[in-house]
Structure 1
Amino acid sequence: MSDQKACVLHWFRNDLRLADNPALTAAATRAADEALPLLCCFIICPEQWKQHDEAPIKLDFLRRTLWELGKALEERGNYLFLLTANTFSEVPDVLETFVKAIDAQALFFNEEYWVNEHRRDQAVAGRLLPVMRSLHSYRDQSILPVKSIRTQAGEPYKVFTPYKRSWLEHTDGSPISLWPKPPQTVTPDKPLVAAANRAATRADTAKAIAEVFAALELTDSTAWAAGEDAAHDELEAFIDSRAEDYDTLRDKPAVNGTSQISRFLANGTLSGRQCYVVATEARRRLKAEGASEHATKGFTTWISELIWRDFYIHLMTDNPRLSMHQPFKADTDQLQWNEDSSGFEAWCEGRTGIPLVDAAMRQLKQTGWMHNRLRMVTAMFFTKNLFLDWRLGERYFMRNLVDGYLPSNNGGWQWSASTGTDAAPYFRVFNPVSQSRSHDPDGEFIRRFVPELADLDNKSIHDPGKAQRKACDYPEAIVDLKTTRALAIERFKNLG
Structure 2
Amino acid sequence: MTQLVWFRSDLRTRDNPALWHACKHIEEGVVGVVFVTRQQWLQHGLGERKIQLLENAMLALKSELASLNIPLLILPANTFADCNQTLQRLIIQLDIRSVSFNIEYEVNERRRDIEFGRWCREQQVELYKFHDQCVVPPGEVRTKQGQPFKVFTPFKRAWIQQAEDIMAAPLPQPGPCEKNIQAPLIALINAQASLSLNTDPITASADPLWPVSEEEAHLRLNNFAYERGIDYKKLRDFPAEDMTSRLSVYLSLGLISARQCLHVALDRNNGLFSGGKPGFDCWISELIWREFYRHLLVAFPQLCKHKAFKPETEQVCWRDSEADFQAWCEGRTGYPIVDAAQKQLLQEGWMHNRLRMISAMFLTKHLLIDWRKGEAFFNKWLLDADLASNNGGWQWSASTGADGVPYFRIFNPTTQSQRFDAEGQFIVRYLPELTPLPAAARHQPDSLQRQRCGYPQAVVEHKFARQRALDAFKQTLTAADAGDNNDE
Normalised TM-score (structure 2): 0.93
When residues 285 and 121 of structure 1 are mapped into structure 2, their CA distance, relative to the original with a 3 A threshold, is closer
Please give the residue correspondences for 1:300-379 in structure 2 after superposition, counting only pairs within 5 Å. Answer: 300-379=281-360
Q: Percent identity?
A: 42
Is 1:212 the equivalent of 2:202? Answer: yes
8 Å contact from structure 2 (residues 58, 74) kept in 1: no
- Give how far 1:200 is off: 7.0
Distance 1:452 1:94 in 2: 53
CA deviations on 1:151-197 (whole Å, 9 max, x unpaired) are: 00111000001001111222334444323432443335454334435
Provide the rounded CA distance (Å) in 1 between the counterparts of 2:168 and 2:6: 25
8 A Cα contact 1:91 1:124, kept in partner:
no
Confirm or deny: 8 A CA contact 2:232 2:283 kept in the other structure: yes
Q: Does the 8 Å CA contact 1:101/1:195 hold for their aligned counterparts? A: no
Are residues 285 and 166 of structure 1, via their aligned partners in 2, closer, same or farther at CA, if it must alter by over 3 Å?
Answer: closer
SS in 2 for 1:337: coil
Aligned to 1:461: 442
Contact residue 377 and residue 432 of structure 1 kept, 8 A: yes
For residue 118 of structure 1, what is the aligned residue in structure 2?
110
* Pair 1:422 & 2:403 matched: yes
**Kept in 2: contact 1:62–1:267 (CA 8 A):** yes
Aligned-pair CA distance for 1:109: 0.1
Q: Which of these residues, 442, 445, 454, is aligned with residue 473 of structure 1?
A: 454
> Comparing 165-174 with 73-82, which one deviates more in the overlay?
165-174
Alignment match of 2:19 (pick from 16, 24, 28): 24
Q: Is the 8 A contact 1:81 1:201 kept in 2?
A: no
Instruction: Report the Cα distance in structure 2 between the residues aligned to 1:473 and 1:149, rounded to whole angstroms.
Output: 53
* Aligned match of 1:235: 221
Counterpart mapping for 1:17-96 below 5 A? 17-29=12-24, 31-32=25-26, 35-96=27-88
Are 1:447 and 2:428 counterparts?
yes
Q: CA deviation at 1:212?
A: 2.8
Gaps of 5+ in 1: 1-5, 203-207, 288-292
Q: Secondary structure at the match of 1:284?
A: coil
Residue segments in structure 2 that go unaligned for 5+ positions in a row: 479-488
Give the aligned residue type for 1:382. Answer: L
- State the partner residue of 1:101: 93
Quote the Cα distance in structure 2 between the aligned partners of 1:463 and 1:400. 27
Residue 384 of structure 1: how far off its partner (Å): 0.3
SS state of the match for residue 277, structure 2?
helix
Matched, 1:244 2:230: yes
Tell me, in whole angstroms, the C-alpha distance in 1 between the residues paired with 2:9 and 2:54. 10
Between 1:53-62 and 1:8-17, the stretch displaced more is 53-62
- Counterpart of 1:88, as a letter, is F
User: Which residue of the other structure, out of 237, 262, 273, is the alignment partner of 2:259?
Assistant: 273
Residue in structure 1 matching 2:9, options 8, 11, 14: 14
User: Does residue 137 in structure 1 map to residue 132 in structure 2?
Assistant: no
Cα deviation, residue 325, structure 1: 0.5
Q: Corresponding residue for 1:163?
A: 155
1:264 equivalent to 2:250? Answer yes
User: 1:175-232 CA deviation, whole Å, 9 max, x = no partner?
Assistant: 4432343244333545433443533757xxxxx54x4358xxx8x6232121111110
Is 2:239 aligned against 1:253? yes
Whole-angstrom distance in 2 between the partners of 1:129 and 1:186: 30
| In 2: Cα distance, 1:374 partner to 1:456 partner | 22
How far off its partner does 1:142 sit? 1.0
CA distance in 2, matches of 1:286, 1:121: 36
1:116-172 CA-to-partner distances (Å, cap 9, x unmatched) read 001111111122332343111111101211111110011100000100111122233
Deviations 1:450-475 (A, max 9, x none): 01111100111000000000011111
Contact 1:7 1:103 in 2 (8 A): yes
User: Which deviates more, 70-79 or 352-361?
Assistant: 70-79
Paired amino acid for 1:10: V
Residue range with higher mean Cα deviation, 84-93 or 183-192: 183-192
- How many residue pairs are counted as aligned between the two chains? 472
Distance 2:358 2:54 in 1: 28
- Give the secondary structure class of the aligned counterpart of 2:466: helix
* RMSD of aligned alpha carbons: 1.8
d(CA) in 2 for partners of 1:127, 1:316: 26
**Change over 3 Å in CA distance of 1:404–1:389 after alignment to 2:** same
Letter in 1 for 2:296: L
Separation in 1, partners of 2:242, 2:300: 35
Pick from 189, 197, 219 the counterpart of residue 196 of structure 1. 189
Please tell me whether the aligned partners of residues 141 and 159 of structure 2 are also in contact (alpha carbons under 8 angstroms).
yes
Contact conserved, 2:69 with 2:182, CA < 8 A, in 1?
no
* Residue 236 (structure 1) shift: 0.3
Q: Distance in 2 between matches of 1:489 and 1:52?
A: 32
Q: Greater shift after overlay, 236-245 or 485-494?
A: 485-494
Residue 83 of structure 1 aligns with an amino acid whose one-letter code is: L
Match in the other structure for 1:3: none
Rounded Cα–Cα distance in structure 2 between residues aligned with 1:464 and 1:37: 66
Counterpart code for 1:179: L
Q: 1:154 aligns with which of 137, 146, 165?
A: 146
Q: What CA distance in whole angstroms lies between the structure 2 residues aligned with 1:201 and 1:256?
A: 45
- Match of 2:239, SS state, is coil
Letter paired with 2:10: D
Using structure 1 for the length normalisation, give the TM-score.
0.92
CA–CA distance in structure 2, aligned partners of residues 46 and 100 of structure 1: 25
> Which residue type is aligned with residue 442 of structure 2?
I
Q: 2: distance between equivalents of 1:42 and 1:89?
A: 14
Q: Name segments (4+ residues, structure 1) moved above 4 Å.
A: 188-191
C-alpha contact (below 8 Å) 1:36/1:186 kept by paired residues: no
Deviation per residue, 1:349-371 (Å, 9 max, x gap): 10110000000000000110100
Return closer, same or farther for 1:200/1:280 CA change in 2, 3 Å cut-off: farther
2-structure distance, mates of 1:344, 1:283: 43
Q: Deviation per CA, 1:252-304, whole angstroms, max 9, x where unpaired? A: 001101000101111211110111111011111799xxxxx9x8100000000
Are the structure 2 counterparts of residues 85 and 446 from structure 1 closer, same or farther at C-alpha, using a change threshold of 3 Å?
Answer: same
